């Protein structure tokens, strides 16, 4: 039996007062880690909203985890997708310990009472450990740094065993040290057995880890380029993608930053 793609968009467009997304064709296969990049207003958030079933495409076909929007129960489908965005941070109970917040993801709720077992709680702590977040176990959410809160949200999404994990600009607002730490933790995630396909949204090339093997560049609502990391991270492509020519500078561990020329 053929394995269904994790995500398949065919000729997808989305309009409000104007065309926000135009003829998007894109496929994510099982086990792939993708980066979605675009400048402000490129249409990234809108594209994520379509993938997560919050908006309906004006035209085209969207298939997520083998289900086609319009022919499936979106609520059930959402249980199979992990979605992490900084906006979610405000919804979580500040006084709850990190491991309980993670655990709430297993039940798809914000607040948990006594519906969990000791083994559920162990699983939650173990997941934080596996992601390099041992030090935040037993700490109330309100005392966690921005980066630690992001890690809790990621673990919370992971405990529901999603088949697709969307990380919407997870490094936003982090200082350079916290960002590096979170990126290393995300890197650990990609090493976990049976980890979900990853869709990592970012503005910055320097956040593209070596394990993020595929990149989609979105510009003014259209796909500017998509493909393997090594082919997309080129000065020629990026100089046309950005509003002015750029220089691609190696940073650490086969990662690159861009600077205007
Ligand atoms: N509901 C809406 N009605 C009309 N226009 C919208 C709506 N939502 C988004 N837009 C417009 O669509 C374009 C894409 O917005 P979107 O938020 O998807 O971009 P983005 O790439 O996520 O940007 P950013 O990086 O700034 O978050 C923008 O021009 C935005 O103003």
Distance 225 CA to ligand 1 centre (A): 20
Atom of ligand 1 nearest to the CA of 46: 18
Do the beta carbons of residue 171 and residue 187 sit within 8 Å? no
**Over its length of 261 residues, how does the chain's per-residue pLDDT go in tens digits?**
567 899 999 999 999 999 999 999 999 999 899 999 999 999 999 999 999 999 999 999 999 999 998 888 988 999 899 999 988 888 888 999 999 999 999 887 777 777 788 999 999 999 999 989 999 999 999 999 999 999 999 999 999 999 999 999 999 989 999 999 999 989 988 888 888 999 999 999 999 999 999 999 999 999 999 999 999 999 999 999 999 999 999 999 999 999 999
- The three-point CA angle 26-199-96 to 5° equals 150
- Substitution site in 13, 21, 42 for ligand 1 pocket (most atoms within 8 Å of beta carbon): 42
Centre a 10 Å sphere on the Cβ of residue 256 and count the other Cβ atoms it contains: 18
The ranges assigned to domains in the chain are 1-80+204-261
At 84, is the secondary structure helix, strand, or coil? Answer: strand
Pairing type for strands 197-202 and 164-168 reads parallel
Distance 80 CA to ligand 1 centre (A): 26
Do the beta carbons of residue 102 and residue 57 sit within 8 Å? no
40 lines ligand 1 (CB under 6 A): yes
Whole-complex ipTM: 0.95
The Cα 54–Cα 47 span in angstroms is 10
The Cα 227–Cα 118 span in angstroms is 44
Distance 46 CA to ligand 1 centre (A): 6
pTM: 0.93
Looking at domain 1-80+204-261, does it have CATH number 3.50.50.60? Answer: no
- Encode burial over 160-190: b for 16+ CB neighbours within 10 A, e otherwise: bebbbbbbbbbbeebeeebbbbbbebbbebb
The Cα 103–Cα 175 span in angstroms is 27
Do the beta carbons of residue 198 and residue 33 sit within 8 Å? yes
């Amino acid at each position: 039996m053929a394995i269904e793609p994790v995500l398949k968009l065919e000729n997808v467009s989305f309009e409000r007062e104007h065309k926000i997304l135009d003829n998007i064709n894109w496929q994510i296969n099982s086990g792939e880690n993708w980066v979605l990049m675009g400048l402000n207003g490129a249409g990234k958030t809108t594209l994520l909203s379509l993938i997560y079933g919050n908006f309906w495409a004006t035209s085209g076909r969207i298939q997520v985890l083998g289900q086609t929007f319009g022919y499936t129960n979106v609520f059930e489908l959402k249980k199979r997708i992990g979605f992490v965005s900084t906006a979610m941070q405000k919804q979580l109970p500040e006084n709850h310990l990190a491991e309980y917040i993670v655990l709430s993801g297993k039940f798809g709720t914000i607040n948990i009472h006594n519906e969990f077992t000791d083994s559920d709680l162990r699983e939650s702590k173990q997941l934080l450990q596996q992601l390099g977040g041992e030090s935040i176990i037993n700490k109330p959410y309100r005392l966690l740094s921005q980066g630690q809160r992001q890690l809790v949200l990621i673990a919370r999404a992971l405990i529901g065993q999603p088949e697709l994990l969307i990380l919407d600009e997870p490094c936003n607002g982090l200082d350079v040290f916290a960002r590096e730490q979170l990126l290393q933790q995300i890197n650990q995630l990609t090493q976990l057995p049976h980890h979900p396909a990853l869709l990592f949204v970012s503005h910055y090339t320097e956040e593209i880890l070596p394990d993020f093997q595929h990149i989609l560049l979105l510009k003014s609502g259209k796909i500017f380029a998509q493909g393997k990391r090594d082919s997309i991270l080129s000065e020629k492509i990026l100089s046309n993608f950005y509003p002015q020519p750029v220089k691609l500078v190696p940073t650490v561990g086969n990662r690159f930053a861009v600077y205007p020329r």
